A and B are shown apart, each in its own frame.
Chain A
Amino acid sequence: MLLVLKVAPVSLPAPCERDANHKPASRADRALKLTMSATRYRNSTAGQSRELVLVICALLLVALFSLTGILTRAFHKKQAALAAEWYAKGNVCLAANSPREALDDYRRALIFDPENEPYQLHLAQALAQLGRQEEARAYLLNLLSDRPGDGEVNFELARLAAETGNIDDAVRFYHAAVYGAWESDPVAAQLRARLELSQFLVRHGERTQAEAELMSLAANIPDRDAQLHTQAGDLFQSMGDLSGALSEYRFALKAVPENLTARIGAGMVSFKLGNYSKAIEDLEIAAKADPENKTVATTLETARLAIESDPFSPRLSVREKAQRVSTALSRAIQRADQCSASSKNANAAPLAALAAQAKSQRESIWSERNLLSHPDQLDPAMEMVFKIETAANQTCGEPSSFDVALQLIERKLRAMQEGAPE
């Protein structure tokens, strides 16, 4: 009776009560039924003892635990299979340079296996490839909070920071990657990270830091890793450290003599260092391997001309010297004539005057025969060649290989005169 009284408020009309025709008493009836069933239940279970109920509960728990265990295991297995399937699809798409499709696949994989770190890392990589740096960064930072010393995560974060030009963050994450833990081939991965750090520093003009990193990199590259030596050589070269670059190229060529990039690099660096014979040696091999490479061909030709046209080379007879000076003078006068004729530049007049002066001298004292008999005129004649070439460079366009060779000869001469090391 008491219970019946208690449900009485349930039947009171509420503000949102249905209209009067629509079973107004049904809810109260339901509540009443509910209460009556509560009472009936209390009476029906009166005979059972607590011990019996607890025993039944224990048995039920065992059964429920087993059932849950079986179902959970089956479910996790299914989830893992689906996750792996979508992950594999994502990898295929990422490899095929379709990061958008890969992104969807990785996301799906992560729905089935949300804590999988490689999945998250790949998702971040796909996002980064799509140019969604902030989103990739969010995922990576989350991963980093779980694995602060992970080399790969730090490496990806460093790359993102590098792309956005955040130097401090990039350097911090690159360093963390260099000294971090990598799952596979840690030495190569750490060197790769240091190389990228060096490249980044070079790009951003952080020369001192870049040098330190490069030295450390060069010291740790295994002898057999020709590619890394070559890349280090390129970096040294871009920083202007030609000796360092040459050394790295040589290491690379020692490991893999067929490495064309290293061969070209070595030839170019030797050429810049004025070691034309070594340059010719390397560039000839490179030109054979890659005959289409115009830079190699031009540099090779220039190097050859720089050797063949240099009147200051030791152990040359006076005749040879006179011949070379005479050839150089003729080439300089020819260039000046062509240049002053075609150019309306203000420098054209002085160039023409220099050419006229050189011509008159060639008629008199700087003829090949006169030079042979008056070797003291070799140097003044070459000085005139250098003057004309310099003036022509300011007036005209691209010099020919021969003109470049003449300039290189001048540079070498000045260096010798100043006592600078070659």
Chain B
Amino acid sequence: MSGAAPTVPAATPPTKASAWATFIARLAGTRRRWVSVFSEDHLFLMLAVLIGIFAGLSVVLFRISIEWIQLLLLGPAVHPSVTRVLLAPTLAGLVVALLVIHVFPRVRGSGVNQTKAAVYVFDGYVPFSTVIGKFITCAIAIGSGQSLGPEDPSLQIGAGIASRLGRSLKLSREKIRLIAPVGAAAGLAAAFNAPISAVLFVIEEVIGNWSGGVLGAIVLAAVSSVVVMRQFLGTNALFRIPPFRLEHSSELLAYAVLGIVGGGASVLLLQAIAGIRPRLRRLPRWTEYFQPALAGLLIGLIGIRVPQVMGAGYPIIDWALHDQFTWNMLLLLAACKIVATSLSFVSGTPGGMFAPTLFIGAMLGGAVGGVEHLFFHQLTGTVGAFALVGMGTLFAGFLRVPITSVFMVIEVSGSYSAILPVMISNTIAYLISRQFQQTSLFDLLARQDGMILPSVEEQRERVLLRVEDAMPERDGAAATPEEMFADAIRRAGVTSELCFLAGGPVGWRVYRRVTKSDEAKADEGVTSEASPFLYLDLPLEDALQIMADWPVLPVISRVNAQSLEGVLAHADIMRAFREVGSIEPS
């Protein structure tokens, strides 16, 4: 084995160009590894944080703009001069109308519905011009004293930013559709300084279910937007709440009365919007130039005597929470705010209904509390405590978000002590509102705008059919597996080839009589297949999916897989759906 040793090539010093090439190659390799590890799900979660930050910053700017415009137009005094009170909302109304008609036509309507439309209709697309339009028009409208709030626009600003970012990052269609609610939660959380309520609202009203795929992103976006907002505007809750006391459980009755009154007021406000808005929309198009201005003028006229109703009214809510008004003043404020808010909203002025709802609820709650104190001196709850509960009550009754309303009160008050009165009052108001006004506010607005969006409330309250509801009742004595199977086969309209089914250690199998063409494959003229099975509590939609092409399937017990509870035929499922009418298009 002799021979020259293999020569090792001499190491040559790397040139500048080759070093760069190596670096770029490594970089590309890193990117490829990064891309392979970093799935779209991860990107979606990271994007949620980014959306939250952008939404938080935008909401901060939005709130500052409103305050600044308010200072500019109405001045810093508690009681602005008559000239300012009349001119500011009127002229601002004209400007807003011009902007809405000629520059930002898509800013009309509810931000919640537009976000829902993005999810269900437009593949997550919310035009960015809507974000700019909402920002400008709502800041002018609310700052000038129109009786509207900044939360709904904030929600839509968040949704618009999310949609824009999602599209820019070329997310899949599935993710893009879900991105608007993520931004909506971020915007709402920053506007309310209440992340839990924002998450719950989006789940309760926009998405309608606790989808694991989007929940994490919504929470991340809400939290990051609130963190950003607090960085600039402080960590304080929206309202400063005095200590809440409930010394005797019989006092809950007093809050139940508040629930009844709140429910009534919700119905009143809903029907005012349901009645007036379509009428105004039927007016000739040229009137749209003047409707916000006219609403502004009328609000200004109210504002001469009751300036508290102008704008979002958060400081006034704070005063009510601190017992700063007598019950008759509170009642007057509630009544004037209902009128002013209805005027602003039906006139097509862009802005939200959350803040006015809280305002009316607080005033009404305080008034009910004040009147109750006149008759029952031993009530320990202050007028401020009733105002606090009243906020949640109207939120539940008017916006029809019962769970969000409870958590909203807890979050803005920073205390759980009011939980029982809030739950009682909110539930009563919600039930009354449901009873006397079938369609919720958001569904109503969507239908008035010509869209039929999925109603989350209807989804929530739809009767869920289960296997046990479809399975026909049988005579217990005659219910042997063979008889049940025979019955099911007959109902399914299959007579010849299916034979019987049996359980056992290997699971459930369906035995099939073999036809002539399949005889070669069969053993003694019978073939068997492992079949899926159903449980009694399984929803019928799921059962239908499992059933696929099987005409009948066994229904077994969850505690004993060998025990046959019955046999369900495809026809049984269809009959059950037909009976409740849920296969009819809504």
Binding site for B on A (CB under 8 A): 3, 6-7, 9-19, 22-23, 27-28, 30-31, 34-35, 37-38, 41-42, 45-46, 48, 50-51, 53-54, 56-57, 60-61, 64-65, 67-69, 71-72, 75, 78-79, 82, 86, 104, 107-108, 110-112, 114-115, 134-135, 137-139, 141-142, 145
Contact = CB atoms under 8 A, between A and B. Distances in A.
B578 interface: no
B57 interface: yes
B447 A141 contact: no
Given A11-B450, A142-B322, 4 more contacts: A37-B127, A38-B125, A53-B168, A107-B315
A68 B61 CA distance: 6
B487 interface: no
Given A17-B450, A142-B241, A107 B78 contact: yes
Contacts of B241: 142
B256 to A, nearest CB: 24
* Contact-residue bracket for chain B: 35 or more
A9 B127 contact: no
Contacts of B530: none
Nearest to B444: A16
Contacts of A16: 277-278, 281, 447-448
A11 B285 CA distance: 19
Contact of B64 (A6, A14, A15, A71): A71
Given A38-B125, A45-B167, A142-B240, A72 B233 contact: yes
A138 B384 contact: yes
Q: Which of B68, B105, B169, B243 has the most CB of A within 10 A?
A: B169
A108 B78 contact: yes
A54 B169 contact: yes
A38 B323 CA distance: 51
Contacts of B77: 108
A115 B240 contact: yes
B68 A111 contact: no
Given A19-B282, A46-B170, A71-B64, A135 B448 contact: no
Interface string B309-323: 000000100110011
Contact of B125 (A41, A82, A114, A142): A41
16 contacts: A14-B449, A18-B282, A27-B449, A30-B106, A31-B121, A34-B125, A37-B127, A50-B43, A60-B54, A61-B50, A64-B58, A68-B60, A68-B232, A69-B232, A110-B315, A138-B382
Given A68-B232, A115-B236, A41 B451 contact: no
Interface of B: 31, 43, 50, 53-54, 57-58, 60-61, 64, 67-68, 71, 76-79, 105-106, 121-123, 125, 127, 165, 167-170, 232-234, 236, 240-243, 277-278, 281-282, 285, 315, 318-319, 322-324, 382-384, 447-452
Contacts of B234: 115
Contacts of A114: 236, 240, 315, 318
A6 B452 contact: no
A94 to B, nearest CB: 16
A51 B450 CA distance: 40
A332 B383 CA distance: 68
B206 to A, nearest CB: 18
A408 B380 CA distance: 56
B232 A27 contact: no
Contacts of A10: 121, 450-451
Given A53-B169, A135-B323, A142-B242, A7 B61 contact: no
Contact of B232 (A23, A37, A61, A72): A72
A141 B450 contact: no
Contacts of B79: 104
Contacts of B384: 138
Contact of A27 (B31, B123, B125, B450): B450
A3 B123 CA distance: 9
A23 B383 CA distance: 51
Contact of A138 (B58, B122, B233, B322): B322
Contacts of A86: 76
Contacts, number: 142
Contacts of B450: 10-14, 17, 27-28
A6 B64 CA distance: 39
A75 B105 contact: no
Contacts of B123: 3, 38
Contact of B447 (A14, A23, A45, A115): A14
B542 to A, nearest CB: 26
Across the A-B interface, give the 3 residue pairs with the lowest CB-CB distance, nearest first: A38-B125, A16-B278, A138-B323
Contacts of A108: 76-78
Contact of B242 (A28, A34, A138): A138
A27 B451 CA distance: 9
A72 B170 contact: no
A46 B79 CA distance: 55
A14 B122 contact: no
Given A14-B450, A45-B168, A141 B122 contact: no
Nearest to A52: B168
Contacts of A6: 121
B305 to A, nearest CB: 16
A104 to B, nearest CB: 5
A34 B448 contact: no
A72 B232 CA distance: 7
B452 A14 contact: yes
Contacts of B277: 16
B290 to A, nearest CB: 17
Contacts of B106: 30, 34
Contact of B67 (A23, A75, A145): A75
Contacts of B278: 16
Contacts of A68: 57, 60-61, 232
A14 B450 CA distance: 5
Contacts of A60: 54
Contacts of A34: 106, 122, 125, 127
Contacts of A9: 121, 451-452
B27 to A, nearest CB: 11
A344 B396 CA distance: 81
A387 to B, nearest CB: 57
Contact of A145 (B53, B78, B243, B323): B243
Contacts of A135: 322-324
Nearest to A120: B240
A31 B109 CA distance: 14
Contacts of A53: 168-169
A142 B243 contact: yes
Contacts of B60: 68, 72
Contacts of B318: 114
Contacts of A72: 60, 64, 232-233
Contacts of A56: 168
A64 B54 contact: yes
B119 to A, nearest CB: 12
A59 to B, nearest CB: 13
Contacts of A22: 282, 285
B333 to A, nearest CB: 15
Nearest to A105: B78
A117 to B, nearest CB: 11
Nearest to A82: B76
Nearest to B65: A71
B391 to A, nearest CB: 16
A84 to B, nearest CB: 12
A27 B449 CA distance: 8
A7 B120 CA distance: 10
A50 B170 contact: yes
A237 to B, nearest CB: 39
Contacts of B127: 34, 37
A229 B217 CA distance: 69
Contacts of B281: 16, 18
Contacts of B285: 22-23
Contacts of A12: 450, 452
Contacts of B452: 9, 12, 14
A13 B167 CA distance: 31
